[in-house]
Amino acid sequence: MQALILAGGLGTRLRAVLSDKPKPMATIGGKPFIEYQIAWLKKHEVTDLVLCVGYRHEQIRDYFADGERWGIKIRYSVEEELQGTAGALKLAQRYVTGPFWVLNGDSYFDIDPGKLAQFHQQMKAERGGLGTLALTDKQDARDYGAVTLSAKNEILRFEEKSAPVGAAKTINAGIYILEPEILNAIPAAQKVSLERETFPFVLQQGHVLFGYRSSGYFIDIGTPQGYLEFQQHIAERHA
Instruction: Write the CATH number for 98.
Output: 3.90.550.10
Is the residue at 143 inside a domain? no
How far CA 220 is from CA of 45, 81, 154, 172, in Å, comes to 24, 24, 24, 11
DSSP annotation string for 170-186:
EEEEEEEEE-GGGGGGS
How many domains does the chain contain in total? 1
Is the residue at 93 inside a domain? yes
Active site residues: 161
Residue 235 half-sphere exposure toward CB, CA atoms < 13 A: 8
pLDDT of residue 7: 93
Is the residue at 92 inside a domain? yes
Is the residue at 38 inside a domain? yes
Rounded to an integer, the average pLDDT of 122-131 is 96
- The predicted model scores a pTM of 0.93
pLDDT digits (tens, 9 = 90+) for 127-155: 999 999 999 998 876 778 789 999 999 99
pLDDT of residue 17: 66
